[in-house]
Structure 1
Amino acid sequence: TRPINLSNAKPGTMVIKNEADAIPFPIGINVLRLQPANITLLIDTLVQKDLPIHPVIEGEPAAGYELGSIKLRPEKLTVSGPKNILESQLALKTYVINLDGLDHSTTLQVQLNLSPEILRLIGETVVSVDISVKERMLTKTVRGIPVNVRAADTPVTAVPGTVTVEAEIPENLIRDTPELAMLFRASASAKDIKNSRQVNVTVAGVNVPNHVPIKIVSVKPEKVSLRILKRSKKKKSKKQ
């Protein structure tokens, strides 16, 4: 073996001559020639760098769904290596993650797609990828939702009797519902009402299994007039 002293080495190219006395041989052996005559070393500064990991995705989730978020664990790696390699490395990337037809959230184990230089430094590396897929929401204006009068002690009618709602509804639910007004319940409370007056209208979306909740954006009108209906008096029959 040829020992080399690197205690005073500096970044750059270092040429070391292979002289006859540089390599120890047993007594009685005369060195006539050494090949190669020189050893060339490329000395570089050892650095440490945090490299973010970027997911590479392709494809689209199933109809009516969209990508909510994608999170990597870990989100970055700390890599130690030669400065000339790491200073030009801005980030690490995964192999392609295919989203085609995905209709639910999932967690995958994905390898990093590394250059040969980085692969030699850190080896094959796997990260966890949390993929959140959600239903695509569409904003719709739905008219003709009947107002149900609650807690009435006396006959009461609501004027107007229907309201219009603007809401965010899952796209798949819109496709599967023949009449969107069926997805809403509107009500007005007549509790303790003695005279006709205006009250607030409460509108809620119907909870449909396997779908995210409907989000109410606005209700028009926000108030309805509750009008007390007069009871019709029964005529007394004359006794014969």
Structure 2
Amino acid sequence: MTYLSNLKKVLTENITLKIAALALSFLMWVSLSNDQPVERVLSVRLDYQHVPDGMEISSQTIATVDVHIRMPGRRRTISESDVAAYVDLKDATAGEKIIHLDPQKNARGPAGVEILKLSPPRITLFLEPTVQAMVPVEPAIDGTPAEGFAVVRVAVQPTKVYISGPESHVRRVGNARTETVVIDHHRATETAWVNINVADPKIRIIDTKPVQVIVEIAEKRKEVLIENLPVHVASDLGPINVRPKTIKVCVSVPLAFDTNALSDMIHVVANISELDLAEGKRTVEPEIKIQGTMSDSVKIVSIMPPVLEVRSAGRKR
């Protein structure tokens, strides 16, 4: 009983003071534990600073680096935005550059945060002169017109654009390609304003305005040769000899066009009203006149022969 009484006395005497001492000891332990340094790794964007005028990085670059830091335990949080990593290229020249990433020279953090190392420890990049060049614009067309129709012509305006970028990249660019113009089942000419692109991400297009692409669509056509078309002379000079007296004309018409009517629609004229035949033989190009309600559908392809010989019938050869 004496032992238990003594134990009870020890536990209950000055209990307030004992509780205060225990609380103080706990607080000191927490304080000391918070002062223990903590190491972390942050993925931080790598900035490329002060690239010399007229130069640019032509190689693929590392976007981020791992920054290893040590900070006091009492600092509760830190984020990637609190730490910066960078490479200063102000004195760099053209060519290959191997840059060792120094934790003291190539990174910084808040006060009390120690930069231990950067990963990777070094990077390689290439610097090249910036150049410009003019390249053709290549229209991109997809699809097939409606049945019986065909693409007659594709045009783009402007036909060329200026690009800029690292010298070796610019040399490899063959053209700037447009957005795709779709012509599926179209029966008429399609005009579109579209943007242009170069596949190489290092290349910049100087004028980024849209370009105009014109896809001319018309009915499919066939060529027909009409022979033995008589040549008519338009003159007030009396009898005129023309050689040859008949010619051939090749025309283009829609596939469904009735070609039997072509001979009656085509009228060939030798207009010599402004020729001086006093000195003998002259030459003149035949004039082709197409008559009838379907005349707009007929296109002249060629004339054989392309010139006629004319002379006054009263003159000897």
Q: TM-score, normalised by structure 1?
A: 0.58
Pairing 1:166–2:237 present: no
User: Paired residue for 1:12?
Assistant: 96
CA separation in 2, counterparts of 1:219 and 1:84? 52
Pairing 1:115–2:191 present: no
Q: Secondary structure at the match of 2:260?
A: coil
Q: How does 1:128-207 map to 2 (within 5 A)?
A: 128-132=212-216, 136=221, 138=223, 140-143=225-228, 164-172=246-254, 175-185=257-267, 204-207=288-291
Measured against aligned partners, the alpha-carbon deviations of 1:163-204 in whole angstroms (never above 9, x if no partner) come to: 643113222288324232211235799xxxxxxxxxx9x764
CA separation in 2, counterparts of 1:102 and 1:7? 56
Q: Secondary structure at the match of 1:35?
A: strand
Report the CA distance shift for 1:95/1:20 in structure 2 as closer, same or farther (over 3 A): closer
User: Paired residue for 2:114?
Assistant: 31
Report the CA distance shift for 1:188/1:74 in structure 2 as closer, same or farther (over 3 A): closer
Letter aligned with residue 178 of structure 1: N
Please list every run of 5 or more consecutive structure 2 residues that lacks an aligned counterpart in the other structure. 1-83, 237-244, 272-282
Q: Secondary structure at the match of 2:119?
A: coil
Identity among equivalent positions (%) equals 17
Report the CA distance shift for 1:173/1:37 in structure 2 as closer, same or farther (over 3 A): closer
1:71 CA displacement = 2.7
Report the CA distance shift for 1:181/1:46 in structure 2 as closer, same or farther (over 3 A): same
Greater fraction helix: 2
CA separation in 2, counterparts of 1:23 and 1:66? 60
Question: Number of aligned pairs?
Answer: 209
Report the CA distance shift for 1:18/1:4 in structure 2 as closer, same or farther (over 3 A): same
User: Paired residue for 1:43?
Assistant: 126
CA separation in 2, counterparts of 1:117 and 1:12? 20
1:209 CA displacement = 4.5
Pairing 1:89–2:173 present: yes
Letter aligned with residue 36 of structure 1: S
Report the CA distance shift for 1:101/1:209 in structure 2 as closer, same or farther (over 3 A): farther
Report the CA distance shift for 1:139/1:217 in structure 2 as closer, same or farther (over 3 A): farther
CA separation in 1, counterparts of 2:162 and 2:269? 58
Report the CA distance shift for 1:188/1:42 in structure 2 as closer, same or farther (over 3 A): closer
CA separation in 1, counterparts of 2:308 and 2:165? 67
1:84 CA displacement = 4.2
For the pair shown, the structure with the greater C-alpha radius of gyration is 2
Please report the RMSD computed on the Cα atoms of aligned residues, expressed in angstroms.
Answer: 5.0
1:6 CA displacement = 1.2
